[in-house]
Amino acid sequence: MKPAPFTYHAPVDTGEAVRLLGELGDEAKAIAGGQSLVPMLALRLATFGHLVDLRRLDDLRGIEHRGDSVWIGAGTTQAAVQRSDEIRTALPLLARATPLIGHFQIRSRGTVGGSLAHADSAAEYPAVALTLDAELETLSPHGRRTIPAAHFLTGMWSTALADDELLTGVNIPVWKGRCGFAIEEFARRSGDFAIAGAAVALRVDGAGHLDRCAIGLFGLGPTALRGRGAEAELIGTAAVAGDPDAIGRCATADLDAVPSDLHGSAHYRTRVGAAMVARAWRRAVQEALHG
């Protein structure tokens, strides 16, 4: 298959890119690494009259520690994240999620912003952003705004971005204290999209009780999700007291709209998701308590 005809634009700065998006409206689509968009165009699952290429925009790339968070430019490649000592130290959950994304060839071109804006429900980065309460920065002809990850993901391949709005970066809070992080996923083959997965972040106080925890779920709905009911029940409890399998079942108990397809029924995905939560929980607790 070949994509439908389109007009190609290669702006040299962010201002020009935003101007093009504003002028062209919903006929335009921004393209960064193209690892998700190009196959969709080739299969004609999506068609756009104009593509706005972001590869020349240097101000969309970079990793910076800013106060209590780390800023990552939307155009930063996943390979750059994987190589970053700053990410490994400050955002271990993101560092551990990155090698799970496709293959190294994909990570060398795929971008942080591209993954977040594409908003695939089985993708790792949207789940990590949601789990860590990231905030996404955007720019449009009307100015800048900041969108919490919980409000950014609106549906399958759907976000809160307006047609004339460009994702410029993401701020991810750095957790401090005795913390543990883990991400687990199940896929048919290495590099495939996950059938189901879970990301866990938790922190314990001096007595070993949970004073903060977050459970992210992916592949289990139209968007990445949080197991907020389980989180609320766990706060204040002893980290070693919780049964990981019961926590997994609790985190996935209230799911609706779980996908059912040739890779697995909704019931199967839910069971796999619960198992992934349990695995991630065990690893995160071990790290928080014992390093």
Domain ranges of the chain: 7-53, 58-173, 178-290
Going by C-alpha positions, the residue among 80, 138, 146 that lies closest to residue 111 is: 80
pLDDT at residue 1 in the model:
66
Alpha-carbon distance 258 to 260, whole Å? 7
pLDDT at residue 9 in the model:
97
- Rounded to two decimals, the pTM is 0.95
Q: Which fold has domain 7-53?
A: 3.30.43
Q: Which fold has domain 58-173?
A: 3.30.465
Q: Tell me the per-residue pLDDT of 145-191, one tens digit each, with 9 for 90 and over.
A: 999 999 999 999 999 999 999 999 999 999 999 999 999 999 988 88
Alpha-carbon distance 274 to 242, whole Å? 14
Say which residue the tokens 């866990």 belong to: 200
**CATH code reported for the domain at 178-290:** 3.30.390.50
Residue numbers in the chain where pLDDT is lower than 50? none
Strand 210-218 vs strand 158-159: parallel, antiparallel, or unpaired? unpaired
Q: How many CB atoms lie within 10 A of CB 23?
A: 12
Long-range contacts of 185-193 (CB under 8 A, 24+ apart): 185/100, 185/124, 185/218, 185/219, 185/276, 186/272, 186/275, 186/276, 188/263, 191/102, 191/103, 191/106, 193/120, 193/122, 193/123, 193/219
Question: Is 112 in contact with 76 (CB distance < 8 Å)?
Answer: yes
Positive or negative torsion for Cα 153, 155, 159, 162? negative
pLDDT at residue 183 in the model:
98
